[in-house]
Chains A and B, each alone.
Chain A
Amino acid sequence: MPVVLEAQEISFIYPQNNRGLAPVSLSLAENEGVFISGNSGSGKSTFTRCLSGLIPHLYRGEFSGKVLIHGDSTQDLPMWELADRVGLVFQNPAHQMLAPTVEAEILFGLENLGISRADMKQRLEEIFGFFKLEPFRNRSPHTLSGGEQQKLALASILARQPEIFIFDEPLSMLDTTSALEFVAHVENLINKGKSAVICEHRDKFLENSTHFRKFLLPGIHQPPAEQQDITHPDYPESLDQFQLQVRNLSVEKSGNKIIREMSFSLDSGQIVAIVGRNGAGKTTLLRSLVGLQKHNGDICINNGTINQKPHFRMVFQNPDIQLFNPSVKDEILFKVSRPNMQRYEWLLEMLDLRRYEDTPPLLLSEGEKRRLALALTLMQNGKHGVLLDEPALGQDQHHKDILIQLLKKLSQAGFLVIFTTHDLELAAHADHLILISPQGIVADGPTHEVLHADSAWQQIGLVRPDWMTFDV
């Protein structure tokens, strides 16, 4: 098979934080799929930017080596010509939507190809048919669910018919059903003679596909090996026992019922996973529990004698909405009156943040920022526990293990830990699992029981692939 893309010893260093991509070579043949794996911070996104030509065209930094596409160097071709040959799909589909309607979104790329209006119309209708997007034609892309947005992102690139597709963590925000559908779409492209490179943390979705060859990215900043086996001390404090009781919880937004009549109770010291499809109301449920969301129904804490309002702290999905201080230390201690420095030290050790204590938070990698957001939330006094919205997003296995360890330590100290996730293998580490759909709770019970409740999973439309293991 002829080689369509070749990276020759390419490396890149961002000037602002001296991070980037260590020297790496890769060649991609026609009709071939390569799956790039690597730790957080190994430079997967940077690699996709180099392969697609965004580096060096749009980024300043230290670039060396050469990327050849059909024998032409990316440095010698203008961006629009590179875009004709290589289609790039980014990690967060919501951030790549440029047009006010789904139709205009697909047309944006077609108009730039310079083809006739008749050809555009034909390609547009083909794409609408292929991806079954017709019901969304005149809707704003930002009103679609995560899975639909990712499908639209792929559709808008596919309409341009490039030879090579490059994906930067396309599965990170998708539930298992949407992720499997997405992988099937890419496999279909490879069957039709296209070539694809996918950078992804959720390895198993691609390791189990026969269409992809695995390629390990070496990375510049690997976590030190000696840290893997460290046994961390217990959380330095402990909470009293209590029970969280939720009765008839309903949430309505703009006339749509997001949560319908949910009732459940949870005990202190539990780790609880909330799982559901994209748009099932997982985040809204957490927002209601922490008091940010207007709702109907009761949410209270019963400690055996009196009922009181719950006092949780929440770790948000996007860490960037909270970080602003000049150093990691200042960020964690901001607005904490009489900080418990024992807890502070424990968090630094536990979350592998010690070496960044004096680093500005905005210079950290995405995974590090997530751990910092967790640290600053836990430094605040949440009397009853902590809520985490998709904490595993963008984390490699090593940092997922750190996260699981931390949650276990917190639950041992009496915290009620509730997290939402698409990652069923992470959910398997919880003591309790709640499956939700827009119609309400579908299953609620000990994790090992709910994981095997086939009818509940069928009801919410979430696939548990055969290769997925739930051994803890």
Chain B
Amino acid sequence: MFNLSQKGKTRSILLNEASPLRRLDPRSKLFVSIALSLAVMLPLDKLIIFIGVYIIFIAWARLLLEMARQTWRLRWILLFLFVIDWWLVSFELAAVITLRLILLSGVFALFFSTTSTNELSMALESLRIPYRFAFSINLAFQSIGLLQEEWQAIREAQQSRGILVKFDGIRQLIKQVNDLIALTVPAIVLATRRAWAITEAAYSRGFDSPQRVSYYQLQMNWIDWLFIGLILAIMLTFIFWR
């Protein structure tokens, strides 16, 4: 699982064990994801071809479904930005911005559908990011599902007291400020308590130890270097091709 989904209630990105990228070193995937993200700088004509190539690559990696899901989750933001940019500037700019966001969401799906939070943490550590930061990033990703569940529990509990926040326009929302506070204050309190409980739990198991040894070890293989080389070649072709 990508995040700590309690009793399977929350929506989360599942690790795709069938993808060939799952077996790669997380560092190579991190590098490739960053490289692929640079494609957002391409002009519209090149960007369209690049996204075409990217979709073929994603289909080969058996991640098409994950990419589609990720894009679907962003559908309202994409639509909003497209309409605003078209209205205020031009159709071309609206198309470029929307395609860039689709590409970035695809890269996000590629990385997180094939990399666990532990692997991400180890990759960051091996890239000389201090352990406490790598561990915090790991925990933050794990906590997404729990925060969603806590929010749901608060909403239900307050709803049972007659506190029902409906998002029917800004004016309506302003009238419901008190009710919004009824949701946000407990959410902040619970998140703070969880953070504090985790801090206590971590320190009571030697989190600040200077002699820490990582049990798992990462190993770059020839296939990782081949993968990096291939993606780099494609990227350079697109950047310098006229």
- Chain A residues packing against B (C-beta within 8 Å): 49, 52, 54, 57-58, 78-80, 83-84, 86-88, 90, 92, 95-101, 104, 107-117, 120-121, 140-143, 156-157, 160, 253-254, 256, 290, 292, 313-314, 316, 318, 320-324, 334-335, 362, 376-377, 380
Contacts and interface: CB of A to CB of B under 8 A. Distances in A.
Contacts of B117: 100
Given A117-B213, A143-B6, A322 B201 contact: no
A80 B162 contact: no
Size category of the B interface is: 35 or more
Contacts of B189: 320, 323-324, 362
Given A78-B208, A100-B1, A143 B7 contact: yes
A114 B209 contact: yes
Q: Which 7 pairs across A and B sit closest by C-beta, in order of nearness? A: A114-B211, A112-B206, A324-B185, A96-B201, A95-B197, A80-B209, A109-B205
B201 A98 contact: yes
Contacts of B181: 324
Nearest to A93: B201
Contact of A322 (B4, B158, B199, B204): B158
Contacts, number: 158
Most buried by A among B6, B160, B194: B160
Nearest to B158: A322
Interface stretch (B38-46, B55-63, B88-96, B146-154): B146-154
Contacts of A143: 5-8
Contacts of A380: 160-162
Given A95-B193, A334-B182, 11 more contacts: A58-B199, A78-B208, A98-B139, A100-B118, A112-B209, A254-B9, A318-B153, A320-B193, A321-B154, A321-B190, A324-B189
B160 A80 contact: no
A155 B30 CA distance: 34
Nearest to B214: A111
Contacts of B4: 97, 100, 140-142
B161 A323 contact: no
Given A292-B160, A324-B181, A140 B5 contact: yes
B186 to A, nearest CB: 5
Contact of A254 (B8, B150, B163, B204): B8
Given A58-B199, A98-B202, A100-B1, A114 B212 contact: yes
Interface in B1-23: 1, 4-9
Nearest to A290: B160
14 contacts: A58-B203, A80-B207, A95-B194, A98-B202, A111-B214, A112-B212, A113-B211, A142-B146, A254-B7, A292-B160, A320-B186, A320-B190, A376-B161, A380-B161
Interface string B164-208: 000000000000000001100110011001100111111111111
Nearest to B6: A142
A381 to B, nearest CB: 10
Contact of A88 (B6, B138, B204, B211): B204
A415 B157 CA distance: 21
Given A109-B205, A142-B146, A95 B198 contact: yes
Contacts of B5: 140, 142-143
B33 interface: no
A111 B217 CA distance: 12
B160 A314 contact: yes
A380 B158 CA distance: 12
A83 B190 CA distance: 26
Contacts of A79: 203-204, 206-208
B150 A54 contact: no
Contacts of B197: 90, 92, 95-96
Nearest to B207: A112
A449 to B, nearest CB: 33
Contacts of B116: 100
A296 to B, nearest CB: 19
A313 B162 CA distance: 11
A419 to B, nearest CB: 16
Contacts of A316: 153, 157
Nearest to A312: B160
B37 interface: no
Contacts of A324: 181-182, 185-186, 189
A121 B210 CA distance: 21
Contacts of A141: 4
Contacts of A290: 160
